[in-house]
Amino acid sequence: MINLGGTWQSIKVLEHRMHGKGMVVHLEARDDRDQSQKLVGLEIAVRREQLPSSVPGEYYWADLIGMNVVTQAGVTLGRVEQLLETGANDVLVVSGDRERLIPFVIGEFVKEIDLEQGVIRVDWDPEF
């Protein structure tokens, strides 16, 4: 789906391939560069059911947003508001009594992700 002036419209993907950190796609009724250029900067959405299932240890950001973040000692830090992509690693933006930026590094800082319970357990000092 593509957002054209505030209206979502379905558009068929004819071909696609990975290119660096993004994708190159050939959309129906967009056969040349000039037609495609008009889409630059527009929102594109994919229905959840169209995405492949995630494999163990991998997560869609949409699944993490809204989850409670708790330290290993049981201190609630807040909820995941968003994730930031940085050069080194992704970062959880956690809003609670204050905003915290926690590196999304599984094993080092992120100890457990329980999608069913909606909880992310972290090794993080609540004072930081």
Backbone φ, ψ for residue 60 (5° rounding): -80, 140
Q: Which residue has the tokens 């599984």?
A: 106
Beta strands in 28-117 (DSSP E): 68-71, 76-85, 90-95, 99-103, 110-114
pLDDT computed for residue 33 by the predictor: 80
**What's the predicted TM-score (pTM) here?**
0.73
What domains can you pick out in the chain, each with its CATH number? Answer: 2-50 (no CATH), 61-122 (2.30.30.240)
pLDDT, mean of each 10-residue run, the chain (128 residues): 81 84 79 80 81 87 96 98 92 97 96 96 95
The tally of CA atoms less than 13 A away on the side-chain side of residue 104 is 22
Grouping H, G, I as helix, E, B as strand and the rest as coil, residue 46 is coil
pLDDT computed for residue 93 by the predictor: 98
- Neighbouring C-beta atoms of residue 80, cutoff 10 Å: 22
Do residues 102 and 69 make contact, with C-beta atoms less than 8 angstroms apart? Answer: yes
